[in-house]
Amino acid sequence: MNYWLMKSEPDVFSYDDLVRKGKEHWDGVRNYTARNNMRAMKKGDTALFYHSNIDKAVVGIMNIVKEAYQDPTTEEIAWVCVDVAPKEKLKNPVTLAAIKANPKLADIKLVKQGRLSVCDITKAEFDEIIRMSKQK
DNA sequence: GCCAACGTTGGC
DNA sequence: GCCAACGTTGGC
């Protein structure tokens, strides 16, 4: 079981949109590192949903429900997408500022490699963010 | 809206 | 295969 963090701009596609749809393919990724991460995803893996730009916060948890397959939004075989489904909305969003302020999360790729839209996180990092989401 | 960081492209 | 130029992302 692996843990991931996936970013989306909430005015384009938000966690609530995902909840409304029940399931969505995560397509449109055009970055090799992000793609490689998606290829490494296994059905049943867990991913955090991060809102970039406006919220700048982790807002929910998702399940990977289908492993990487050809991205339907392009003819190029280089690109893939995965299917995700909502698992749980965080009680309190965990903001980027809070993540940056937490020394336990100093090495998280979200901060270290800000532009990467799909990154892997450790179980410790995942657990810490979940813990933060449960406290006021 | 600006700018820093970083990935990609293309000329050599 | 290097590196400059350019484009894109995302935080502020």
Instruction: Give the model confidence (pLDDT) of A74-103 as tens digits.
Output: 888 889 999 999 999 999 999 999 999 999
Q: Output the distance from A118 CA to B1 C1' rounded to whole Å.
A: 26
Closest nt by CA–C1' to A34 = B7
pLDDT in tens, A22-70: 999 999 999 999 999 999 999 999 999 999 999 999 999 999 999 999 9
Q: Output the distance from A119 CA to C10 C1' rounded to whole Å.
A: 15
Residue type, A94: V
* Domain containing residue A76: CATH number: 3.10.590.10
Query: What is the predicted pLDDT for the residue at A75?
Result: 84
pTM equals 0.93
SS (HEC) of A26-44: ECCCCCHHHHHHHHHCCCC
Q: Output the distance from A37 CA to B10 C1' rounded to whole Å.
A: 27
Nearest Cα to Cα of residue A56 among A132, A103, A120, A114: A114
Number of structural domains chain A divides into: 1
Q: Which domain holds residue A46?
A: 3-133
